[in-house]
Amino acid sequence: DRVGSAAAPSDSARSSHRHREQVRSTPCSPSASVIPVPNAATEVVLLGHEELEEIAVRAVHSRPELYQAVDDLLQECGHHKRDAHHARALASDRAD
């Protein structure tokens, strides 16, 4: 398993150019739950806990990466009940 290593000992026989590529520091890879945003004009939608759970249930088999992202969001929301309640109240006010 060479994940995270800059260069394996067997790589020392390769050219110096190739060696420099491997030694160069690489940024940390994003977690599996990070989904890139297509562009800055993407609309933001507030979802409640129930909506997130429904999305997770539907995504379990067909979209495992989406399931993992939603599961992470649900866990994060669990730590911020006050913030989630405030967001729901805000969404409710706008709907009225």
Is 37 domain-assigned? no
Is 4 domain-assigned? no
Helix ranges, 1-96 (H)? 16-23, 49-62, 64-79, 81-95
d(CA 45, CA 41): 13
pLDDT grade, residue 22 (50/70/90)? very low
Is 10 domain-assigned? no
Higher pLDDT, 66 or 33: 66
Is 6 domain-assigned? no
In tens, the pLDDT along 42-53 reads 677 777 888 888
Is 20 domain-assigned? no
Q: Note down the domain range covering 67.
A: 47-96
Taking the alpha carbons at both ends of the chain, their separation in whole angstroms is: 56
pLDDT grade, residue 75 (50/70/90)? confident
